[in-house]
C-alpha cells in the first residue's frame, strides 16, 4: 500500500512538473507572439519542448505569420503602385490641360490675325486629341485590370489587320521622313482573335518604335503553328532599356517626365495579347530593339 502511494505521489509530481513546463512554454510562445506583433521583425516562434503536438502548433503559427507578412508586403507594394499611378496620371493629364489653357487665353486676344488664330486652333485640337488618347489608354488599362473583362473573338485575317495598322501611320512616317521596311505577305494568316484589340496591339508597338527609334522594320511570318509579328527599330545606345520591365505600366526608358506618351501603351499591348492566348516579348542588343508578338493560328 505504501509503495502504491509513493508511486502515485511520484506520478503526481511528474505531472505537476510537466504541467509547469508546458505552461512556461506556452507563456514563452505568447511573449514571442506579442514581440512579433509589436515589432517589424523576421523572428519566428521557437521552442525547446519536444512535444509533437506543440511543435506542430508552432509550425502552423509560423506559417500563418509568414502568410500575414506576405499579404502585408503585397498591400504596401500595391499602395505604392497606386501612389505612383496617381502621380503619373496627374502629370500626363495636367500637361495638355495647361497647354490648352494657355492657347485659349492667346486665342481670346482680339488682335490676332486669321493665320495665327488658325494655328492656335490647330494646336488646341492636337492637345484635345492627345488628352483623349490618354483617357482612352487609361480606360483600356482599367478594363484589362478587371478580372471579369473578356474579349469577344472570332476568325480574323491577321495579315490584313497588320497591314492596315501599318498604313495608319503613313502620315507619321511621311512627317518624320521615316521609310519603314514592311514585310507583310499577301497570303492571309488567320487566327481566333479580336480585330480591334489586334489593331491596338500593332499600333501601340509601332507608336513606341516611332517615338523612341529609327530604321523601323515590320514583319509578319508564320512558323510552327504560330503567327509571328515583329517590329524592330534602332535606338540611342545611351538609353538603357530594361526588357524585363518594358511592359510594366508607366515604364519609360527615358526617366525624364518630358518623354512622350503615358507609358501605358506596351502594358496595354501585353494585356490584350494575353487575353487572346498570345505571347509578347522584347529584346535589346547593341543598338537594335525589337518587340515580337506570337499568336497560335
Assess whether 211 and 282 both reside in one domain. Answer: yes
Q: Enter the pTM of the model.
A: 0.64
The 3-state DSSP class for residue 231 equals strand
Assess whether 288 and 242 both reside in one domain. Answer: yes
- 192 within 8 A of 155, measured Cβ to Cβ: yes
End-of-domain residue from the set 144, 166, 186:
144
Q: What pLDDT score was predicted for residue 219? A: 94
How many structural domains are present in the chain? 2
Give pLDDT < 70 ranges for the chain: 1, 50, 81-82, 85-86, 89, 110, 237-238, 250-262
Q: Is 169 within the bounds of a domain?
A: yes
CATH code of residue 95: 1.10.287.130
Q: What pLDDT score was predicted for residue 22? A: 73
Element housing 229 (H / E): strand 226-234
Q: Is 104 within the bounds of a domain?
A: yes
Q: What pLDDT score was predicted for residue 246? A: 82
Domain hosting 255: range is 155-296
Long-range CB pairs of 258-266 (<8 Å, 24+ gap) are 260/211, 261/207, 261/208, 261/211, 262/88, 262/92, 262/134, 262/137, 262/138, 263/88, 264/137, 264/138, 264/141, 265/137, 265/204, 265/207, 265/208, 266/204, 266/205, 266/208, 266/291
Amino acid at each position: 500500500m505504501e509503495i502504491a502511494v509513493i508511486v502515485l505521489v511520484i506520478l503526481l509530481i511528474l505531472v505537476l512538473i510537466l504541467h509547469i513546463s508546458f505552461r512556461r512554454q506556452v507563456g514563452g510562445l505568447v511573449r514571442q507572439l506579442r514581440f512579433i506583433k509589436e515589432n517589424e521583425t523576421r523572428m519566428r516562434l521557437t521552442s525547446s519542448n519536444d512535444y509533437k503536438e506543440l511543435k506542430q502548433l508552432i509550425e502552423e503559427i509560423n506559417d500563418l505569420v509568414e502568410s500575414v507578412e506576405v499579404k502585408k508586403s503585397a498591400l504596401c507594394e500595391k499602395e505604392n503602385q497606386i501612389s505612383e499611378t496617381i502621380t503619373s496620371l496627374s502629370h500626363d493629364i495636367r500637361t495638355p490641360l495647361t497647354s490648352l489653357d494657355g492657347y485659349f487665353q492667346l486665342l481670346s486676344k482680339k488682335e490676332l490675325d486669321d493665320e495665327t488664330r488658325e494655328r492656335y486652333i490647330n494646336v488646341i485640337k492636337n492637345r484635345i486629341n492627345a488628352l483623349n488618347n490618354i483617357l482612352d489608354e487609361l480606360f483600356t488599362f482599367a478594363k484589362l485590370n478587371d478580372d471579369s473583362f473578356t474579349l469577344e473573338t472570332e476568325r480574323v485575317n491577321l495579315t490584313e489587320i497588320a497591314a492596315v495598322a501599318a498604313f495608319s501611320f503613313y502620315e507619321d512616317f511621311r512627317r518624320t521622313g521615316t521609310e519603314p521596311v514592311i514585310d507583310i505577305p499577301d497570303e492571309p494568316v488567320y487566327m481566333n482573335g479580336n480585330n480591334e484589340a489586334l489593331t491596338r496591339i500593332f499600333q501601340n508597338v509601332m507608336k513606341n518604335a516611332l517615338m523612341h527609334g529609327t530604321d523601323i522594320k515590320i514583319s509578319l511570318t508564320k512558323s510552327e503553328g504560330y503567327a509571328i509579328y515583329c517590329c524592330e527599330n534602332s535606338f540611342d545606345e545611351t538609353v538603357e532599356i530594361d526588357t524585363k520591365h518594358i511592359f510594366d505600366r508607366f515604364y519609360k526608358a527615358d526617366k525624364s517626365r518630358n518623354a512622350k506618351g503615358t507609358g501605358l501603351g506596351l502594358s496595354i499591348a501585353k494585356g490584350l495579347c494575353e487575353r487572346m492566348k498570345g505571347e509578347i516579348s522584347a529584346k535589346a542588343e547593341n543598338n537594335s530593339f525589337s518587340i515580337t508578338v506570337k499568336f497560335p493560328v
